[in-house]
Amino acid sequence: MDKLFIPITPPTEEEIMLIQPNNVTFGQYNISEWQENLLTLISDKLQKHMTREEELPRDLFNMPYVTIRCDEAGGQNNKTKVIKEATDMLSKRFSFRWKHPKIDKEVETIGGSILIAIHNIKGTNQIMLTLNPWAIPFLVYYGVGVGGTRYSKGLALGLRGNYTKRLYKIICSQRDRKEYYYSIQQLRKDLEIPEKHSNNDIDRKILKPAKERIKESGSDVWFDYKLFCKYPVKAGSPKLTRLFSLSTPCILVKKVESSTNNIRLFTDG
């Protein structure tokens, strides 16, 4: 027997569900507002499965699937548009790294698309989406911890703007922490913000509109923010411009009864 050959036992479905992915790549894609809604609806089904509220159904080939009401994903009478948005997701590939629970080795999984097939149920306003099982760890990551994040599906679907929807899920995932530090570079990655957008763009075009929309939505969690430099450097330093352009922490403040929690965003540069 080849001593260099390592016999690999595939992880079980339960173990796949619990994989903690890292080095996730998906940020090269622009996720539309409607695709974000589809991801929210899929994540809702996964959350119910992981909390044993309801089983994730399987098709004839034992692949997991979810049934989506197009009214929830894109408003009434927009089934054709929802199908188009789902179809566009077929070309969006993902990858991540994880540690195999049985052989204690790091594995890089280069996935196909999140969806394997889209089934148009004629005469209804429903579609059935067959999921790639290996997309489940990614979907849990993308949902900022599907098993533990407590957000309102209705609010997530109703908020305008894909960045607003993502920020809402992020602040919900941190509702129990008094204060935590969050790299603004990580924020760029988590929200898939293209590098061409400056921090000033993030302030004016993403954070400010999201702040107003989430607060106006009636959510029990919202945020406020303030931009300032975390790592000031001496005048004349060659890194001055780079650091000041990147090191802009934001304080996100949320209301829980009468308490205030701070989330500090900064860069590592």
| Same domain membership, residue 208 and residue 90 | no
221: its two tokens: 């969690």
> For 33-46, what is the mean pLDDT?
87
- pLDDT tens, 157-192? 788 888 888 888 777 776 766 666 667 777 787 777
> 203-212, 219-228, 259-268 — which is least confidently predicted?
259-268
Domain contains 170: no
| Same domain membership, residue 120 and residue 215 | no
Q: Which of 6-10, 200-204, 255-259 has the highest mean pLDDT?
A: 200-204
| Same domain membership, residue 223 and residue 130 | no
| Same domain membership, residue 145 and residue 187 | no
| Same domain membership, residue 124 and residue 183 | no
Domain contains 130: yes
> 174-178, 191-195, 228-232 — which is least confidently predicted?
228-232
- Using a 10 angstrom Cβ sphere, with 0-12 exposed, 13-18 middle and 19 or more buried, the burial of residue 164 is buried
Answer whether 165's CB lies under 8 Å from 156's CB: yes
First-last CA distance in the chain: 49
How high is the pLDDT of residue 229? Answer: 62
| Same domain membership, residue 201 and residue 139 | no
| Same domain membership, residue 103 and residue 19 | yes
What does the alpha-carbon distance between residue 159 and residue 171 come to, in Å, rounded to a whole number? 14
| Same domain membership, residue 144 and residue 25 | yes
Look at residues 130, 157, 132, 172 and name the one whose alpha carbon lies nearest to residue 256: 172
**pLDDT higher than threshold 80 for residue 145:** no
Domain contains 62: yes
How high is the pLDDT of residue 257? Answer: 40
Structural domain of residue 220, as residue ranges?
178-257
How high is the pLDDT of residue 264? Answer: 59
DSSP symbols for 163-185: HHHHHHHHHHHTTT-SEEEEEHH
Higher pLDDT, 219 or 79: 79
How high is the pLDDT of residue 85? Answer: 93
| Same domain membership, residue 203 and residue 78 | no
Number of domains in the chain: 2
| Same domain membership, residue 142 and residue 83 | yes
| Same domain membership, residue 81 and residue 193 | no
Mean pLDDT rounded to a whole number for the chain: 74
Higher pLDDT, 244 or 163: 163
| Same domain membership, residue 183 and residue 152 | no
Please indicate, yes or no, whether the overall pTM of this predicted structure exceeds 0.75.
no
AA letter at 103: I
User: Where residue 119 sits, what CATH number does that domain have?
Assistant: 1.10.10.10
pLDDT band at 67 (very low <50, low <70, confident <90, very high): very high
> For 203-211, what is the mean pLDDT?
88
Domain contains 88: yes
> For 203-232, what is the mean pLDDT?
79
Instruction: Tell me what percent of the chain is helix, strand and coil, each rounded to the nearest 5.
Output: 35, 20, 40
Answer whether 96's CB lies under 8 Å from 23's CB: yes
**pLDDT higher than threshold 80 for residue 4:** no
